[in-house]
Amino acid sequence: MELIPPHTTTYKLTAEDESGQAATAATTVLVGPPRTKLLEVSVNKIEVKKGEMVTLCFKAVNATSYDVGRLRPAAVNSPGHACFADFPQQTKTYKVQVSGPGGTDSEKVTVKVQ
């Protein structure tokens, strides 16, 4: 049987053996907004020469906003998918964070500069 509770609900199950001894267990299903989740964070290269262009992209679900530091979108731009261009002068760790009603999720990726 499939149940889809409209709000947080506790379900109890009681089982009784042949002698009348009962055992009870309970579980609570928390209902809320769907979880905000990064599906993918990618860079076109993980090692570049000083000043060479790096493209950083991400895909997410249930996101209403994102933060990647001071980078500005270079292509596709929505809370669930965006790409950025950068020209790092030294090894750099990029952090992508997405937020939504279901929380936040983040991931880091490092690009090594030769």
Chain segment 60-100, per-residue pLDDT in tens: 999 999 999 989 888 767 889 999 999 999 999 999 999 99
Confidence (pLDDT) at 76? 67
**Cα(108)–Cα(110) distance, integer angstroms:** 7
Sign of the CA dihedral running 79, 36, 57, 108: positive
Strand duo 73-78 + 103-113: pairing: unpaired
Tokens standing for 10? 């506790």
**Cα(91)–Cα(72) distance, integer angstroms:** 19
Output 72 or 110, whichever has higher pLDDT.
110
Chain segment 13-64, per-residue pLDDT in tens: 999 999 999 999 988 887 888 899 999 999 999 999 999 999 999 999 999 9
- The helix (H) or strand (E) run that includes residue 41 is strand 37-43
Confidence (pLDDT) at 39? 97
Model-level pTM?
0.73
